[in-house]
Amino acid sequence: MNKAIVIGSGIAGLASALRLRAKGLEVEVFEANNYPGGKLHAFESKGFRFDYGPSLFTMPQYVDELFQLFEEDPRKYFNYSRRESICNYFWEDGTTFTAHSDVNQFINDASKAFNEHPETIKSYLSNSADKYDLTAKLFLEKSLHKASTYFSKEALKGVMNSNRLDLTKSLDKVNKKYFDNPKLIQLFNRYATYNGSNPYRTPGIMSLIPQLEMRFGTYYPHGGMHAISQSLFLLAESRGIKFHFNSKVEKVIHESHEVRGVRAADKIHEADKVICNMDIFSAYQTILKDVKKPKRVLKQERSSSALIFYWGVNRTFKELDLHNIFFAKNYKKEFDLIFKEKTITDDPTVYINITSKGDPDHAPPGCENWFVMINTPGNKGQDWEKIKREAKQNILMKLSGILKKEIAPMIVTEEILDPLRIENDTLSHEGSLYGTSSNSKFAAFLRHPNFSSSIRNLFFCGGSAHPGGGIPLCLLSAKIVADFIPHS
C-alpha cells in the first residue's frame, strides 16, 4: 500500500494532499465540515459576500507551485492582482498614511509623514531583508527538528550571523532603536500580530515580517480569499484525490509505533501515511489520546484570537482601501490586556478589510462589505456576550470619530465571530488564530515538529505546526511534510 490520509482540508491539508498526489500516492481527505478550506471559507448575507477568515494574501508563488506540480497553468484556476498599496493607516489625531508596496516610495512617504530620515528607514528595511535572507531557508523551508537541517550552508550562515538577528531584544526595542516617531514604531510593531504575538515580547527577528509584503508584494485574489481554497479543491478533485465531508476522524490507528490509518464513523480506513491538519492541542486531546503528549509544546502560550464583525455598510468610503488599520492610542496597554489580563481594551486597534474594493459585486451598488476585526485573548471562559457589546460600541465610536461619519446607521447586516465560536468551528484550542504565540526567542523551536517522534509515518501540517500560522507558512508546512515522503 502507498496511500496517505489527510485529516482536515484547511489550506495546509489541501496543499499536503496535492503534493503527495503529485508524488504518486493515493490520497484521501477526511473533513469534519461539509466544505473544504477550513478558515478559508465565505458566506453571504443580504447581498453582501464576506470572507470568513484570513484576509491577507502574500507570496502567491506557493499557491501557483501546487498547480505547476501537475503542469497546470494556475491562471486557468485562480487569478490575483498585485496591490499598489499595502495598507491605509489612521490615528485619532487625524494623521493618515498609505503604505505603498514600492519600497522607494514607502521610504520617501514615510520620511515625510513621520519626520524620519530616509536613510534610517532604508537601513531598517535593509536589516529586515538581511534577517529574512539569513533565516528563511533554515526557519521556514526546513524542519527545525531534524539534525540534517543544521549541517547545511544556510544553518552555518545563520549561526555565524546570529548576533544580527536581534533574538534577545523585543520587536518594540528594535523598532525604537531605529525610529523616534511613535507612530512609525507602532506601524512596524503591528507586524507581530501577523502571527498573533505581542510586539513588546516577541523577539526582534520578527522585524523580518515586512519583507513578506515589501519584497514579495501584497495581492488580491480575484473572488476573495475563499477562491484560494476553492481553486485548490477543484485541482485536487481533478487529480483523483477523494474527499470525505461530514467525516470527523475519531482516532488515528497505529500499531507497533507505526501508523495504520484512521477511524471515522466507526469504520477503519487503512493508510500507511497520515497527515494531520488539525490544531495540535486539539489533536492530542481527541484523535491522539493514546499517543505520548509533547508536554512542553502543549504548554506553550497560545496566540491571540479575534473578534470579527461582518458589516454590510450602505455607502462607500474613498479614504478606505482593501486593508485599513485604525490604531489604539495606547498600543502597549492593548497587548498587556490581551496577553496578561486576558481581556480587551476600550480603545482597540481596528482592522477593516473590504473585498468589494477589489470585487465590486461583493456588495450591492453603492455599498461596501466590512470585515472589522480586533485582536483579543483566547477563550478562557470570559463573558463574550458582554465583551462583544462593549467592543462594538467602542469600535463604532472610534471609526465614527476618525472617519467623521456615524457608522452605526449605515450597517444594514451584521454577523459576529468571537473566540468561542472560532474554537468550536475550527477546533483551534482557545480560538487561537495561529496556534502558539511567538512571544519568546525559543518559540520557533517549540512549535510542534512536522512529524511524530513516536509514531512512524504520522505527520503534521498547518498553523499550529512548524513553521507557523498564516497562508504562506501553512503552505510551507505542507512542503516540509511532502519532503519527508518519497515518490511512489
The rounded Cα 94 to chain-centroid distance in angstroms is 30
Just give the CATH number of 3-40+224-300+440-484: 3.50.50.60
Spatial separation of the C-alpha atoms in residues 84 and 88, rounded to whole Å: 11
CB 212 within 8 A of CB 59: yes
Q: 219: closest CA among 339, 86, 392?
A: 86
CA dihedral 165, 169, 173, 174 (to 10 degrees): 0
Do domains 3-40+224-300+440-484 and 107-212 share one topology? The answer is no
CB 12 within 8 A of CB 468: no
Whether pTM > 0.85 for this model: the answer is yes
What are the boundaries of each domain within the chain? 3-40+224-300+440-484, 107-212
Handedness of CA 110, 112, 116, 117 (dihedral sign): positive
b/e burial code for range 104-116 (CB count within 10 A of at least 16 → b): eebbebbbebbeb
Cis? peptide before 60, omega within 30° of 0: no
**pLDDT tens digits, the chain, 488 residues: what are they?**
699 999 999 999 999 999 999 999 999 999 999 999 999 999 999 999 999 999 999 999 999 999 999 999 999 999 999 999 999 999 999 999 999 999 999 999 999 999 999 999 999 999 999 999 888 877 777 776 666 665 566 655 655 566 778 889 999 999 999 999 999 999 999 999 999 999 999 999 999 999 989 888 999 999 999 999 999 999 999 999 999 999 999 999 999 999 999 999 899 999 999 999 999 999 999 999 999 898 888 888 999 999 999 999 999 999 999 999 999 999 999 999 999 999 999 999 999 999 999 999 999 999 999 999 999 999 999 999 999 999 999 999 999 999 999 999 999 999 999 999 999 999 999 999 998 888 887 776 678 999 999 999 999 999 999 998 899 999 999 999 999 999 87
Strand bridging mode 96-100 / 458-460: unpaired
Spatial separation of the C-alpha atoms in residues 239 and 96, rounded to whole Å: 48
Query: Beta-carbon neighbour count of residue 129 at 10 Å?
Result: 16
b/e burial code for range 312-323 (CB count within 10 A of at least 16 → b): bbeeebeebbbb
Q: 244: closest CA among 225, 259, 256, 261?
A: 261
Domain 107-212 fold is Guanine Nucleotide Dissociation Inhibitor; domain 1 (1.10.405)
